[in-house]
Structure formats: C-alpha cells, structure tokens
C-alpha cells in the first residue's frame, strides 16, 4: 500500500514541476524580453522627441529670421512654408544622428509630418505649426518565442508645437488683462478720448464709461476693433462695431529683468544725468537725462510740470508698488531699446513687476513721446486731467486702464517698436 501511494505521488510531482517550469519560463520571458522591449521603446521615444523638438525649433528660428509673427502668419505664406521645410529637414537630420532613418512621410510610421493651423478664436488668432514624428522599432525577442511567433513592433510618437512671435497684447494697442470689472477692465470718466492707430482695443472683462462722453477712435487695418468679454456697453463710444468675445486674451509670463548686478544709487531730485542702476525713486521738476539701459525702481518716479526728461534706449522696471507720475506740461521723451540691450528689454519701456499694483500716470503735452510697451500686469495705467499726448508709439497692457478728465491719448501702435514674445515651443506628446 505504501509503495503504491509513493508511485502515485511521484507522477503528480512531475506534472506539477512541468507547470512550474512553464511558469518560470514565462517569468523569464517577461523579465528579459520585456526589458528589451521597454528599452527599445524608450530609445525610439528619445529619437522621436529629439527629432520633433529639432524640427520645431528650426521652424521657429526661421520664422524669427524672416519676421513671421501672428499678424502675418498664414499657411500659404511662403516664409511659413519655407520654415516648415527647414524644420522637416532638421528633424530628419536629428534622427539620423541617432542612427534612425525617417523621411517626410509618416504613413510607414517612420517619418515627420507638419500641420499648419490658424485658429481664429475671435479675440485673437492662435497660429502654430505642429511637428509630428513617428519612429517604429522592432525588438527581436528570445524567450517570448515560446509563446509568441515573430518580433515585437512598437511605434513612438512625439508632437511639438511652435507658435510664431507675437506682441504682448496680440496686436491690440490697448489691452486690459483683469478678468473682474471692479479690479480690471477699461474705464472712462469724463470727456476723454483715445485715438488708436494700427491696433484695436480689448478688455478681458468690461468697458465701463460713465459721467461724460468718453470715445474711442480705432483705425485698425488688422480689423481687431473694439472687443470685450463681459458687461454691457454703449455702442456709441467706439467708432467701429463693438464685439463681445468669449475667449479672453491669454497672459504670458514675461521674464523679469535682473537688477542684482547693477549699481545702486540714491534718490534723485533736481537736474541730473542718470546711469542704469537701482534707484529708490526720482522726484524732479528739472532736467533729467537717462543714459541707455535698465533702471530698477523700488520707489515712485514723479516728474513735475516744468520737468524735461530724455531717455533713449531705456527700460524702467518698477518693483514693489512703485509707479510713475508725469504732470501736465512736462516734456517727456522716453523710448525703449530697439535692439538687444540686456539687462534692459528690447521694446519694453515700462515694466511693472509681478504683484506690483502701482499706477503709471500719463501727463505731459503734445510734444511728449513714449515709445515702447507699457506693461503693468497687476497695476493700472491712468490718463487724467487735461494732457494731450500725440506721440505715443506704444502699446498699453495692464490689469486696468483708466481715462479721466478731458485727456486725449493718441496711440500709434507699431509692433516692431514694442515688446514681442519670441516663438514659443510646446511639447504636446
């Protein structure tokens, strides 16, 4: 009896061992071949990512060199088509440096394809090129051959989007970014007038004009006109049709300048010739000459009615809650850098630091000149009293814009003279 039972158990153990051996082989296949498949896929993904980034970056550089921006971007533009072709060539070359061959056809899952899009959102045009790269890889398995016949194939995919250069306000001469009418928007109180040439007017919240005859005249060949997001408006205040949009302007994080390496000076009053640096404030009714460069200000700047101020190639960077006040009658000539001037910023005349809720107040007279972007993302731009400003070759972008009194603002927006956001890369996949 005992012998018989032992023989039966021996047979069961052999069967059990056969199942265990199969399971062990399966785990071995999973560990060895799975590792090979994962490694090959990661290598293919790295090639696809590098190729897509190289293509989009080359296209962006070409658009920069050929002065292609949102305002003149179109899928039929020869410069855009040239940028696409140069980008495809760069993608193919980058893949080749990693010993992978791709071409301009993705039907075989080994190539690069470019999609051109101009998406009119009403408020602005979202234009871009998408570089899609597919890289296929075949892994020769070992243990997995016991369970699966043939090699294992996978395809890595990468998509990188390149946006062309755009102005900070997407072509608007005046743009208010605050989304709440009580703390943002475009407000007028009194007999104020704004004349905008070559750029529309936009509010991310409301237009609120009360107690007077505020009026906006827009001469905008680009057709942006007067647009807003919320609230009710009187259509009589704008000389072109007012359009209510559903898509607000998207904010951009503008890199803030570096002030730590600049020299530090004391407060300024009276006549002075200033050099770039850190200042606690400026308060003068005299003659101020500002040499080209970056001025970092932790306190207010005030120019009286008798002041004469000249600063060419300057960026005024206001920190804390500091702001600018120019009295009516002051003779102001301030222009932003027109070329690379680090740490000053090309095209940026006045820049309020993030969190600065201060005010940039316009005064002066018809001979005054402000050239370059005036940007207060968390602050206010104010024109009040009786100034007439004829020579503002600028762009006003702020959380809130206020017109008060009987002020007249004449803005001739020139995108080339104002701050522009370089081509932007987004890796989508």
* Three state DSSP letters for the chain: CHHHHHHHHHHHHHHHHHHHHHHHHHHHHHHHHHHHHHHHHHHHHHHHHHHHHHHHHHHHHHHHHCCCECCCCCCCCHHHHHHHHHHHHHHHHHHHHCCCCCECCCCCCCEEEEEEEEEECCCCEEEEEEEEEEEEEEECCCHHHHCCCCCEEEEEEEEEEEECEEECCCCEEEEECCCCCCCCEEEEEECCEEEEECCEEEECCCEEEECCCCEEEEECCCCCCEEECCCCCCHHHECCCEEECCCCCCCCCCCCCCCCCCCECCCEECCEEECCEEECCEEECCEEEECCEEEEECCCEEECCCCEEEEECEEEEECCCCCEEECECCEEEEECCCCCCCCCCCCEEEEECCCCCCEEEECECCCCEEEEEEEEEEEEEEECCCCEEEEEEEEEEEEEEEEEECCEEEEECCHHHCCEECCEEEECC
Query: Exposure string (b/e) for 382-408, b if CB count within 10 Å is 16 or more?
Result: bbbbebbbbbbbbbbbbbbbbbbebbb
Q: Are 321 and 341 in contact (CB under 8 A)?
A: no
pLDDT at residue 150, as a whole number: 57
**Beta partners for 53?**
none
Q: Average pLDDT of the chain?
A: 86
pLDDT at residue 416, as a whole number: 80
Count other Cβ atoms within 10 Å, centred on residue 109: 16
Q: Is the peptide bond before 343 cis (omega within 30 degrees of 0)?
A: yes
Written as tens digits, the pLDDT of the chain (429 aa) is 455 555 555 556 666 666 566 655 655 555 555 566 656 678 889 999 999 999 999 999 999 999 898 888 999 999 999 999 999 999 999 999 999 999 999 999 999 999 999 999 988 889 999 999 999 987 666 655 555 555 666 888 999 999 999 888 888 999 999 999 989 999 887 777 888 888 889 999 998 877 667 788 888 877 788 999 988 777 667 888 888 999 999 888 899 999 999 999 999 998 999 999 999 999 999 999 999 999 999 999 999 989 999 999 999 999 999 999 988 888 899 999 998 889 999 999 999 999 999 999 987 666 788 999 999 999 999 987 666 666 688 899 999 998 877 777 888 888 888 999 888 888 887
Query: Exposure string (b/e) for 246-282, b if CB count within 10 Å is 16 or more?
Result: eebbeebebeebebeebeebeebeeeeebebbbbeeb
Q: How confident is the model over 244-275, as pLDDT tens digits?
A: 999 999 888 899 999 999 999 999 998 999 99
pLDDT at residue 1, as a whole number: 47
Q: How confident is the model over 146-181, as pLDDT tens digits?
A: 555 556 668 889 999 999 998 888 889 999 999 999
pTM score above 0.75: yes
């Amino acid at each position: 009896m005992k012998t018989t039972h032992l023989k039966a158990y021996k047979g069961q153990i052999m069967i059990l061992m056969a199942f265990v051996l199969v399971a062990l082989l399966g785990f071995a296949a999973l560990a060895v071949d799975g590792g090979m498949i994962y490694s090959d896929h990661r290598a293919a993904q790295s090639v696809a990512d590098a190729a897509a980034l190289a293509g989009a970056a080359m296209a962006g550089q070409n658009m920069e060199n050929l002065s292609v921006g949102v305002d003149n971007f179109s899928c039929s533009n020869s410069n855009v088509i040239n940028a696409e072709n140069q980008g495809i060539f760069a993608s193919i070359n980058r893949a080749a440096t990693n010993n992978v061959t791709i071409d301009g056809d993705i039907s075989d899952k080994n190539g690069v394809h470019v999609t051109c899009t101009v998406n009119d959102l009403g408020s602005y045009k979202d234009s871009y090129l998408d570089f899609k790269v597919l890289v296929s890889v075949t892994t020769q398995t070992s243990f997995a051959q016991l369970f699966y016949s043939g090699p294992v194939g996978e395809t890595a995919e990468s998509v990188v989007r390149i946006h062309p250069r755009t102005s900070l306000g997407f072509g608007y001469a005046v743009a208010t970014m605050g989304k709440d009418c009580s703390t943002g928007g475009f407000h007028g109180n009194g007999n104020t007038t704004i004349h905008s040439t070559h750029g529309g007017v936009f509010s991310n919240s409301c237009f609120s004009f009360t107690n007077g005859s505020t009026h906006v005249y827009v001469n905008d060949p680009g057709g942006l006109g007067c647009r807003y997001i919320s609230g009710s408006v009187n259509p009589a205040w704008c000389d072109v049709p007012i359009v209510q949009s559903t898509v607000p302007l998207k904010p951009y994080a503008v890199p803030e300048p570096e002030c730590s390496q600049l020299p530090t000076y004391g407060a300024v009053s009276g006549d002075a010739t200033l050099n770039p640096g850190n200042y606690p404030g400026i308060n003068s009714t005299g003659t101020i000459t500002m040499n080209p460069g970056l001025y970092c200000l932790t306190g207010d700047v005030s120019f009286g009615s008798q002041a004469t101020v000249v600063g060419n190639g300057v960026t005024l960077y206001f920190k804390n809650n500091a702001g600018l006040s120019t009295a009516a009658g002051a003779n102001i000539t301030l222009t932003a850098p027109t070329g690379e001037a680090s740490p000053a910023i090309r095209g940026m005349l006045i820049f309020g630091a993030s969190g600065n809720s201060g005010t940039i107040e316009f005064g002066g007279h018809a001979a005054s000149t402000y050239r370059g972007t005036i940007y207060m993302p968390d602050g206010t731009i104010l024109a009040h009293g009786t100034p007439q400003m004829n020579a503002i070759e600028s762009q006003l972008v702020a959380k809130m814009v206020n017109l008060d009194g009987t002020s007249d603002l004449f803005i001739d927006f020139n995108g080339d003279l104002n701050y522009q956001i370089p081509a932007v890369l987004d890796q989508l996949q």
